[in-house]
Structure 1
Amino acid sequence: MPVNTLHQLSGQHAAERGDSPALADLDFPARHTYAQLHERAGRLAAGFAARGVGAGDRVLWLGQNSGKVLEGILACAVLGAIFCPVNWRQSNRELEFVIDDLQPSLTLWQEEEIGDTLRQLRQFDAQADNWVLCDGPDSGYEALLADTAPPAPSPTAPDTPVLLLYTAAFDGRPNGALLSHRAVLAQSRNYSAVRKLDAGARYLNVGPLFHVATLLETMATFYCGGLNVFIRRAAPEAICNAIEQERCNGAFLVPATIDEVVAYAAQHDVDLHSLVALPGREEWNTLVTVDDSDWGRTPYGYGQTETFGYASYSALAANATGRMGRAAPGVEICMLDHSGAPLAPGETGEIAVRGETVMNGYWRRDELNRARRAGDWHRCNDIGRIETDGSLSFIGPKAQMIRSGQENIYPAEVEACLREHEAVAEAAVIGIPDERWDQSVKALVVLAEGADCEAQALIDHCRQRIASYKKPKQVEFVASLPRLGAGFDYAALNREYGGGGYPGAGNDAD
């Protein structure tokens, strides 16, 4: 029987590998086999339905990493509903915007570490039936599973959305990419094949599950019948303990986290050799098993949230001209000119993709959806080139983007925040090289006439309104900002004020 939805895949796993471990949540303790996970997802779907969730409705996850995210996705798959894990590190104003935009039928929230912040949200209502606490002694999560009779699965087409992931705010506000069963399954198939994952995969969910770079491997591990191990956040002791205890052989770790793990391991007796990881500095390589596969030699590719990860894989064309490799199976890539016409190989244009892994569109963004479509092509808002050998080169974003650690920061959002300050007449934001985080944010500010302001006051202003990682690390006051047409001349700003380190190498999924 063909598998066209996540619920069908869950049922197949329950039938074929029911006793195999599927989920281990180490911080919110839970362990489930594939049979148990399938059964729990069905009962959770019944609990969701009792709270008013139906086909097309949204379920919001306001919490850190947990096995409940995977359960929630599978429960939504039963109902034809849509699961949305959101960035819990955002400011209250950002979270309030997402809640207003998403209009969830049900919100699952976490007390530990972030409960005090969530209580300050305008929409928070712990007493409401559609706000369910999921941890601690007052948790109502298990009560959602009280119904022993799962509902009949909703008749769900493969192109029905099952996930909604908010992208970084490249136009000044985040946008929710709607990802279908087909997209999730196709990317899981492709990623598993390129990485050579099988039922022996033991993936440590340590990167944030609201980010596609983590979640795509979560779903690929589920796809191939492996074990997903969850810890709620990237703390070096927890990472090392989880790898040792569960013999994890995969994890998505950013360089700064790797440095923290290396430092922790230098002071403690740990065995991390089960972890198969990309090579790094010598201290890291001696701790882990270095990946010598095709992926290990030529990792990553080109991708973004809107394609649920990789549209191309470098490992599919290791010796090609273009560093981003070739299009994934079921995906086509071309370059478009400004009018939306395809360009010939060797010509530079906007990267466009179509195929199985491409999103259905952005949630409640009709105008943006029209702007990002050219026929059946999705315009990626990035500049690239198809080389004469058919491989892909990534040149850079159409709009300048800053990459700090694993977070994408779009200048438009930070600039808009700075302009809200009464002392600011104009503000431009650039990325400057940062030894630890690759880039950090620098703001160039023209003060309003007669105004006086300290740099720290503007940094604090941003910290209170947007996620802390987006705030400027440096503020420089300038007399004027160079312009290019209607916008700022960012190339000139970068040259004059030390900008650089932009993610032009494109070696990571957005």
Structure 2
Amino acid sequence: MTLGHPAYQQIRMHGLGDVLREHCRSRPAMTAVVDGEFRLTWPQLNQRVNQLANYLLANGLAEDGRVLWLGQNSFRLLECMLAAAKIGATVCPINWRMSAGEVAAVIDDFTPQLVVWQQQDLADTANQARDHAKHRAHWIAHDGDDADSYEALLSLHSATDPDLAVHSDTPVVAMYTAAFDGKPNAALLSQSAMLYQSLMIAYGYSITEQSSNLNSGPLFHLGTMLATLATFTFGGKNVFIARVDAEEMLKLIEAEAVTHAFVAQPTLLQIREINKAGKYDTSSLWSSPEAPEWSSPLCMPKDSPFAQQARVYGQTEVMGFTTFGFLGGGGAGRVSPLAQLRIVDNDGNELPPGESGEIEVRGIQVMSGYYQRDDENERRNHNGWHRTRDLGKRLDDGSVAFVGPKTTMIKSGVENIYPAEVEACIAQHNAVAQACVIGVPDPKWEQNVKALVVLKPGEDLSAEALIEHCRQHMASYKKPKIVEFVTELPRAPDGQLDRKKADAMFGGGGYPATH
């Protein structure tokens, strides 16, 4: 099969770095990013990205290089992603709320050559993780002010574009997700997946070069990074705030005429209270200080297609969303033109409409696999289709309904919590014989984590002590809020844990689903 003239294979290459290069030509005076004292035009951002790319190359991080980001929201994370895109490296932004032990485990798994970390708020966690990790990496503080800090090192390197030929299918971001077996896995997301999905997100969110996107959601989650990438791709302005602060968010909404943001309900209530007298002008985002349009954390123009039909199905492994309500149909909507989707039985046979089975996806937006998980990659690959481990069904009109995770997931606020991961942590306690973690409904957070625990004979353990054990070994949001000690756990006839029965017996429910 011919692929055309060899020269045109290179001419047709187009990745995130190329988008940035063209923005410099097309939008030379427009603002690309705002973050505290930093306010950069597209050429200024490109200059810094080139300096970082040359620093990475000088330190051996060319193609297949790996950078770990341990920090809160910052424009420097976007710089890291764009520099990586220009040289073929991969950036992994991790949840800064994780414990030092969890961070060390990720470092040992991802084996980055470079860790870009944050001193403010995270110094203790970072230093402990650095000591505990077996893998050795070079660490630079992105908010430091010494000779080995991010800004100082950038200033030492050329702003000349490295201008390397990097294929757009090269992974550029690794997102840890899917702890379905008790251990998180890093999904590798390519530049092409990000660019193509940005087209859909920009259309759905009504993002243009006039958009101002407040990066107020956690950028270690793809759900909030999608708007960042779409805003970047279409030449809009990305505004960064390190972490959620209602008053600071109000100041930025007014100062930067923010049109898009991520605002969770607890933060919205704070914003309404602070701004009830209209101290801050939020008219670029909401029609009044009461924010009457708010219906989900994803805030955007109320007439945007997504706001009109906020129904989706997806996962990190398929670059976020693969169905959209604004494309028509019922349930979670119709499948994106960037993907194919089918529903199959346990033998891999496609099922007719109305029958529930596993969702399989293929297309440009599917991940490039999990990092260093050959066995899992084989399990998730079924005759050229990605097995999602989610259950769904086709509706009669061809749209898709999401039935639920094949492996149960708990949704607490904006966080995804996998029972197997929490159970593995609980099992490390010497007094515990068995554990089962379920989600119980919560009016504020959607679900809370409840642990059903069987103790070893003769052992005594309080709920408070077990919760503290979990808090010390994993991110605080994952720990159980409720512990119930039981004499035995419900089992299926084959001896496996019967999670449905556990839910029925102990108040489980409220798991995420779109019917």
Post-superposition offset of 1:329: 1.8
Shift of 1:294: 2.6
2:18 counterpart SS class: helix
Q: Where does residue 295 of structure 1 map in the other structure?
A: 306
Partner of 1:229: 239
Q: Residue 91 of structure 1 corresponds to which residue in structure 2?
A: 99
Question: What are the residue-to-residue correspondences of 1:304-319 with 2, within 5 Å?
Answer: 304-317=315-328
> Residue type matched to 1:293 in 2?
S
Aligned partner of 2:498 in structure 1 is: 489
Match of 2:395 in 1: 387
Q: Does 1:442 align with 2:450?
A: yes
Q: CA deviation at 1:505?
A: 2.6
What displacement does 1:354 show? Answer: 0.7
Q: Check the 8 A contact 2:206/2:305 in 1, yes or no.
A: no
Per-residue deviation, 1:276: 5.2
Q: Deviations over 1:365-384 (max 9, x none)?
A: 01111111112211111100
Give the distance between the partners of 1:252 and 1:429, measured in 2 at CA.
29
What is the identity, as a one-letter code, of the residue corresponding to 1:179? L
> How many residues of Structure 1 are paired with residues of Structure 2 in the alignment?
497
Partner residue, 2:122: 114
For 1:17 and 1:371, locate their aligned partners in 2 and report how far apart those are by CA, in whole Å. 45
> Would the aligned equivalents of 1:118 and 1:124 in 2 still touch at CA under 8 Å?
no
- CA distance in structure 1 between the partners assigned to 2:20 and 2:92 by the alignment: 19
Structure 2 counterparts to residues 274-353 of structure 1, below 5 A: 274-275=284-285, 282=292, 291-317=302-328, 320-321=329-330, 323-353=331-361
- TM-score between the two structures when normalised by the length of structure 1: 0.93
Equivalent residues of 1:277, 1:296 under 8 A apart: no
Q: How does 1:360-375 map to 2 (within 5 A)?
A: 360-375=368-383
**Pairs within 5 Å for 1:392-471:** 392-471=400-479
1:388 & 1:129 partners in 2: Cα distance? 53
- RMSD after superposition: 2.2
| Partner of residue 69 from structure 2, selected from 61, 70, 87 | 61
> 1:238-290 CA deviation, whole Å, 9 max, x = no partner?
211111111110012222222232233237722222115999985968xx986
Q: Which amino acid aligns with 2:398?
A: G
Structure-2 separation of matches of 1:380 and 1:368: 12
- Within 2, Cα distance between the matches of 1:160 and 1:278? 44
Equivalents in 2 of 1:268, 1:372: separation in Å?
51
Specify every segment of 5 or more residues in structure 2 that has no aligned partner in the other structure, as ranges. Answer: 1-10
**Corresponding residue for residue 151 of structure 2:** 142
1:129 deviation in Å?
A: 8.0
Alignment of 1:468-483 (within 5 A): 468-483=476-491
Is the alpha carbon distance of 1:279 and 1:291 closer, same or farther for their aligned partners in structure 2, counting shifts above 3 Å?
A: farther
Amino acid at match of 1:440: N
Aligned partner of 2:212 among 202, 209, 226 = 202
Is the contact between residue 313 and residue 322 of structure 2 (CA under 8 Å) also seen in structure 1?
yes
Amino acid at match of 1:66: S
The partner residue of 2:222 within 187, 194, 212 is 212
The Cα of 1:11 is off from its aligned counterpart by: 0.7
Distance 1:281 1:140 in 2: 40
Q: CA deviation at 1:300?
A: 4.0
Counterparts of 1:306 and 1:180 in 2: how far apart (Å)? Answer: 11
Alignment-derived partner of residue 35 in structure 1: 43
Which deviations, in whole Å up to 9, do the C-alpha atoms of 1:324-374 show, x marking residues without a partner? 111112211111211223222332110111111110000000111111111
Distance 2:380 2:172 in 1: 21
Task: Identify the residue that residue 253 of structure 2 maps to in structure 1.
Answer: 243
Per mean C-alpha deviation after superposition, the further-off stretch among 144-153 and 426-435 is 144-153
The one-letter code matched in structure 2 to 1:116 is: D
Whether contact under 8 Å (1:426, 1:446) holds in the other structure is yes
User: 1:434-480, CA deviations, whole angstroms, 9 ceiling, x for partnerless residues?
Assistant: 12211110111111111111111110110011110011101011111
* Contact kept in structure 2, 1:55 and 1:154, CA below 8 Å: no
Cα distance in 1 for residues equivalent to 2:141 and 2:287: 36
Are the counterparts in 1 of residues 278 and 289 from structure 2 also a CA contact under 8 Å?
A: no
Distance 1:22 1:290, change over 3 A: closer
- Structure 1 distance, partners of 2:287, 2:184, is 32
CA distance in 1, matches of 2:21, 2:303: 34
Relative to structure 1, the CA distance from residue 392 to residue 277 in structure 2 (aligned partners, 3 Å threshold; closer, same or farther) is farther
In structure 1, the partner of 2:7 is: none
* SS of alignment partner, residue 243 of structure 1: helix
Pick one of 166, 170, 176 that aligns with 1:156. Answer: 166
Q: Residue 198 of structure 2 corresponds to which residue in structure 1?
A: 188
Whole-Å separation in 1 of the counterparts to 2:501 and 2:137: 54
262, 265, 270: which one pairs with 2:275?
Answer: 265
Q: Is the 8 A contact 1:273 1:289 kept in 2?
A: no
Distance 1:71 1:289 in 2: 25
Distance 1:79 1:169, change over 3 A: same
Question: Mean Cα displacement is larger for which, 240-249 or 261-270?
Answer: 261-270
SS of 1:488's equivalent?
coil
Q: 1:51 to 1:289 in 2, by over 3 A?
A: closer
Shift of 1:155: 1.9
| Paired amino acid for 1:38 | N
SS at match of 1:421: coil
C-alpha change, 1:267 and 1:476, in structure 2 (3 Å) is farther
> Cα 1:278–1:302, aligned 2, differ >3 Å: closer, same or farther?
farther
1:5 aligns with 2:5: no
Say whether residues 1:252 and 2:288 are aligned partners. no
Name the CA shift for 1:119/1:189 in 2 (closer, same or farther; >3 Å): same
| Percent pairwise identity | 45
Q: Aligned pair in 2 of structure 1 residues 463, 216: CA closer, same or farther (>3 Å)?
A: same
Q: Is the 8 A contact 2:426 2:435 kept in 1?
A: yes
SS of residue in 2 equivalent to 1:302 = strand
